[in-house]
Amino acid sequence: MIRLNIIVEGDAEERFVNEVLSPHFGGFGITTSASKVVTSGRRGNAAAQGGGRRYGHWKDDLILQREICSRKMGALAEENM
């Protein structure tokens, strides 16, 4: 199974992944998911998403996503043992 996690900037890119790329890659057995980059801005109690203009926002989020994916892959490997 191939899983493709795509980091996107905002709502439009997330919709594109979900409505266009996911069905396309699904035909090849590839599962996709879209995650919006978290910016430093805040909206109420939630971290603002989208509009990432600074590399630092992207870098921090990419590192976090890599850690999450590594944990998921480790859990999947344990399940298959």
Q: Which pLDDT does position 52 carry in this prediction?
A: 57
Q: Which residues pair with 36 in a beta bridge?
A: 8
DSSP state of 37: P
Q: Which pLDDT does position 50 carry in this prediction?
A: 53
pTM of the model: 0.61
Q: How far is CA 8 from CA 37, 70, 74, in A?
A: 6, 19, 24
Determine the Cα–Cα distance for residues 31 and 29; give it in Å rounded to an integer.
6
pLDDT digits (tens, 9 = 90+) for 30-73: 999 888 876 655 455 555 555 556 777 678 778 887 887 778 77
